[in-house]
Amino acid sequence: MLSGSRPPRIYGAPKIHKDEVPLRPIVSTIGSPTYGLAKLLQNALQPYVGDTPSHVKNSSHFIEILTKTRLKNTDILASFDVKSLFTCVPIEDSLKIVEKLTERRLPKDYSHLIEFCLRTSYFLWNGHFYEQ
């Protein structure tokens, strides 16, 4: 292990709004070997955020979009709950998007670094290492 680093840890946050109060598993990578790398990559990708017509910044932005939307009588507005958002990110699709960004301004070697961060998903729990 790198000096001064620690492995990602898993813990549970209670979902107090649900029956039997189940836990939402959260993996904290703060202080882990890939944490600094992920921060560097996040800063490099930040200028590309919102570069699509379907991007929604936050709930206020979503409401602003809805107020400008005109529905027909035959339209249906549906809402979906997000489940396991980050554990279900399609890695191959994500890497294709990053490859397209390298054709613009993103350094070419960043795609390998991003792939490393996306595929390195381990954590320590109860003295044992697990990989997602």
pLDDT at residue 1 above 60? no
The Cα angle at residue 131 between residues 128 and 132, in degrees rounded to 5: 135
For the whole model, what pTM was predicted?
0.65
Residue type, 121: S
46-74 pLDDT tens trace:
888 877 777 888 889 989 988 998 999 99
Ordered by start, the domain boundaries in the chain are: 9-67+83-131
Amino acid at 85: L
